[in-house]
Amino acid sequence: MSTRLIESLATTEAMASIFSDGPLLQAMLDFESALARAEARVNLIPPRAAAAITAAARVEGFDTVELARQSLRAGTPAIPLVLMLTARLRTADPESAGFVHWGATSQDVTDTALVLQLRRCRETLAVDHAKIDRQLSRISEEHAASVMLGRTLLQPAPPITFGLKSAGWLAAIRRSWANVARAFDDALILQFGGASGTLAALGERGLDVSQALAEELALPCPAAPWHSHRDRLAALMTALGVYTASLGKMALDLSLLMQCEVSETAEPGGAGRGGSSTMPHKRNPIACVVTLAAARRIPGLVANFLSGMLQEHERAVGGYQAEWSTVAAIAQSAGVAVASMAEATAGLAVYPNRMRANIAATRGAVFAERAMVMLCPALGRGHAHRLVEEAARQSAATGRTLAEVLAGMEHAARLLTPAQFASLQTPEDYLGSAEAFRVRLLSSTK
């Protein structure tokens, strides 16, 4: 399945395939064939009818263009689908044709088909998530001692390590994925309720058929049908939104670290990747670009889904009908983001020497806090702050390091030792609990 050009930056081929016409139609047909087998298991319809319906419920030969056209008129694809399937049965086995869709309603078909699609999405997302987890774990270990600037409000701050930074990305992505996994567990359930959610057409056998149908589709059977209760799907959509935003945070950091003036990391390159149509020197952060686009697109989609939760009585007028395209867009946004960051982390180049050089370029300004802490016991916080603030101004104006300026100031020269002055130019001496936090992040999901 090729991705449509208009969606080329919004999905992957794997995710686009899940939501393409053929697999979607087959998911609906799988519901119909599973329903027939379930009803045969509890002796509601003849086994021969179940076999005939299962044999006919194959996507080959269905006209998806005509199905889409009729769906717009019917308000649901389930109605024309059932008519087409029934017509196919009348040719192959007329006696079985009357048992198609027995006791079900249109939304049973579409909701369960959506659940089946989302189950495939979960498998695809999980593969790429696992890649990111492994790769960030490796990067964090490899760069546990790679010192770099901390950056607050986009300005230089006391040093951290790239190991800590990458562990922070990983921990956030793990936490977000744990929520996604729980939401999938809750949302991937059967929908089967019939006209008003009571399965009245099946008499006293409704629960029996529900359980058998759930087993046929390998889905949990809920306590009751959920036609107009969209909370579980909403939780999943929201969790996917948060997960994509966590990926987007990493993408934003990496894209900033890739700027020429910073040059501390680089995405993997290659033929046709990250170039420019006019500037041959460019190595653009394409994985970050695609991930950030997804992370910025998805909040509005989640909001659309949440607004559609207000559904009337036992079945909605326009509520669930609005969901299919929204759910597909949310899932595909998460899919392209996780696939892109899996690719980025797999070949991420990290430049520790450049990181150290960027620290040195501040001429020790990022150690101003350390200097103040060392002077506070003798001078008090206020006096120490004013002294170091003046030293930082002189350093910026003269090009001398903070340590050199402080060494020429009477109070500092009298109070600080040569070793302390040297530490104002040594990032490893001012990392605090960075390594402890890094290790804790790698081993925690909280």
Length of the chain: 446
Of the residues 69, 276, 381, 433, which is catalytic? 276
Q: Are residues 27 and 134 in the same domain?
A: no
Separation of alpha carbons 100 and 112, rounded Å: 16
Do 237 and 327 touch, CB atoms closer than 8 A?
Answer: yes
Interval 244-250 mean pLDDT: 98
Note the pLDDT of residue 274.
Answer: 54
Note the pLDDT of residue 56.
Answer: 96
Instruction: Please check whether residue 109 lies inside any domain of the structure.
Output: no
Q: How confident is the model at residue 176 (pLDDT cuts 50, 70, 90)?
A: very high
Residue 376 CA neighbour count, 13 Å, CB half: 10
DSSP letter for each residue of 181-203: HHHHHHH------TTTTS-GGGG
Q: For residue 75, what are the domain limits?
A: 10-104+192-223
Note the pLDDT of residue 273.
Answer: 58
Q: Are residues 210 and 244 in the same domain?
A: no
Q: How confident is the model at residue 190 (pLDDT cuts 50, 70, 90)?
A: very high
Q: Are residues 156 and 234 in the same domain?
A: yes
The answer, yes or no, to whether residue 446 has pLDDT greater than 70, is: no
Do 63 and 81 touch, CB atoms closer than 8 A?
Answer: no
Query: What would the pLDDT profile of 194-212 be if each residue is shown by its tens digit?
Result: 999 999 999 999 999 999 9
End-to-end CA distance of the chain: 38
Q: Are residues 150 and 269 in the same domain?
A: yes
Q: Are residues 261 and 327 in the same domain?
A: yes
DSSP letter for each residue of 83-114: HHHHHHHHHH-HHHHTTTTTT--HHHHHHHHH
Q: Return the CATH number at 27.
A: 1.10.275.10
Which of 307, 338, 355 is a domain's end point?
A: 355
Q: How confident is the model at residue 280 (pLDDT cuts 50, 70, 90)?
A: very low
For the question of residue 73 being annotated catalytic, the response is no
* Percent residues over pLDDT 70 in the chain: 96
Instruction: Please check whether residue 2 lies inside any domain of the structure.
Output: no
DSSP letter, residue 160:
E
Q: Return the CATH number at 177.
A: 1.20.200.10
Query: What would the pLDDT profile of 292-305 be if each residue is shown by its tens digit?
Result: 999 999 999 999 99
Q: Are residues 310 and 426 in the same domain?
A: no
For the question of residue 414 being annotated catalytic, the response is no
Q: Are residues 136 and 246 in the same domain?
A: yes
Q: Are residues 310 and 363 in the same domain?
A: no
Of the residues 58, 315, 354, 356, which is catalytic? 315
Do 111 and 192 touch, CB atoms closer than 8 A?
Answer: no
Beta-carbon count within 10 A of 360 CB: 12
How many domains is the chain partitioned into structurally? 3
Q: Are residues 157 and 272 in the same domain?
A: yes
DSSP letter, residue 36:
H
The interaxial angle of helices 106-142 and 162-187, nearest 10 deg, is 160
Q: Are residues 261 and 369 in the same domain?
A: no
Instruction: Please check whether residue 113 lies inside any domain of the structure.
Output: no
Q: By three-state DSSP, how is residue 159 classified?
A: strand
